[in-house]
Amino acid sequence: MTKAYDLDGLVDLLSKKSAATEDDVDTLVPVATRLPLRDAVRIVIEDWDDDRLRKVSAVILRDAGPAIQSLDEIKSIYQQAKANRPT
């Protein structure tokens, strides 16, 4: 079953910065704030196309639901956004 997402819902795009030591906690670094979900997934898939490490460190924070942290989920949302792109 495919999840439904509000592609125009505003989100924050962050990137995980790996901890320096095992005792440290990963830090979330803001990349872009208050942009539509469709734009956030486009940035991760298209703009970061040549940077796999950056892609897998992407975190999308939503007001209306849990954070999106899986690259597979981001790819799925990207495909939905492409299919629903206004003409």
Q: Judge whether 10 and 85 are in contact, CB under 8 Å.
A: no
pLDDT tens digits, 17-62: 876 666 666 789 999 999 999 999 999 999 999 999 999 999 999 9
> Which pLDDT does position 21 carry in this prediction?
64
State the alpha helices, DSSP H only, in the chain.
37-42, 52-56, 71-83
In a domain, 2, yes or no: no
Both structure tokens of 33: 């704030």
Structural domains of the chain, count: 1
Is 57 inside a domain boundary? Answer: yes
Whether residue 1 is contained in a domain is answered as: no
Instruction: pLDDT band for 64, please (50, 70, 90 cuts).
Output: confident
Between residues 1 and 22, which one has the greater pLDDT? 22
Is position 65 within any domain? yes
pLDDT of residue 6: 94
Domain holding 67, by residue range, is: 10-83
In angstroms, the CA 72 to CA 69 distance is 9
CA gap 30, 16 in Å, rounded: 9
Asked whether 32 and 41 are in contact (CB, 8 A), the reply is no
Is 4 a member of any domain? no
- Does 5 map to a domain? no
